[in-house]
Structure 1
Amino acid sequence: MFSSVKTTFVAVAAALLSSLAFAATDVNKADQAQLESVKGIGPSMSNRLLEARKTAPFKDWNDLIDRVQGIGPAKAGKLSAEGLTVNGAVYAAGTAPAEKAKPATEKKSEKK
């Protein structure tokens, strides 16, 4: 009986530790060290996030994507998968703003 209680205790402790290891990091509340603890965010990116946040907290993922250079839909998805949130929300693919239309390239005239 003692070994089953011990096994259950170890299982519960392991579950608690694993959930703490993947604690979400909210971009509006985190300091530089907390931001850099998210895989994919280094010193340069954390500085850009903190500078953009000085003007106003991020409303949502679209706001973050619009205001922070280097974060697009793909990067947002990766950062969210690593535990970054915006106001507690994870990034949901398909909610990003449409890409801005780029001007069509002109064809070079053919030489005769």
Structure 2
Amino acid sequence: MKHSSFFATLVLLFSLATGFAYADQSAININSADAATLASLDGIGDSKAEAIVAYREANGPFATTQDLSNVKGIGVRTVEKNAERLTVK
């Protein structure tokens, strides 16, 4: 009995520890997010985040998340990598 409760405790702790690694990250609205928030996206650093904000200010809001690839330095692959986290609403 002692081994099974110890094993169950280990399984529970492991599940909790690994569960946080797969926690759903919140969606980022590319039409309203600030540069610091945009920089948290995969493949987007501070300079690209600033470029997104500048593009948005110069051209208006993005109609679709795919329009993010219109920003200089941001390719389709970067948009695809972040597709689940991007929104325009």
TM-score over 0.5 for the pair: yes
In terms of fraction of residues, the more helix-rich structure is: 2
1:37-60 deviation line (CA, Å, top 9, x unaligned) = 33421221001112233422x332
**Corresponding residue to 1:26 among 25, 28, 39:** 28
1:7 aligns with 2:10: yes
Q: Tell me, in whole angstroms, the C-alpha distance in 2 between the residues paired with 1:65 and 1:42.
A: 15
Which one has a bigger Cα radius of gyration?
A: 1
Q: Which residue of 1 aligns with 2:87?
A: 87
Q: Tell me, in whole angstroms, the C-alpha distance in 2 between the residues paired with 1:84 and 1:50.
A: 20
- TM-score norm. by structure 1 comes to 0.53
1:53 aligns with 2:56: yes
Q: Tell me, in whole angstroms, the C-alpha distance in 2 between the residues paired with 1:49 and 1:73.
A: 14
Q: Tell me, in whole angstroms, the C-alpha distance in 2 between the residues paired with 1:12 and 1:45.
A: 36
Distance 1:71-1:11 versus aligned 2 partners, 3 A rule? same
Report the secondary structure of 1:69's partner residue.
coil
1:64-83 deviation line (CA, Å, top 9, x unaligned) = 223x1122223333x42xx7
Q: Which residue of 2 aligns with 1:70?
A: 73
CA root-mean-square deviation = 2.8
Provide the identity percentage.
Answer: 22
- TM-score norm. by structure 2 comes to 0.63
Q: Which residue of 2 aligns with 1:42?
A: 45
C-alpha contact (below 8 Å) 2:65/2:79 kept by paired residues: yes
Report the secondary structure of 2:73's partner residue.
coil
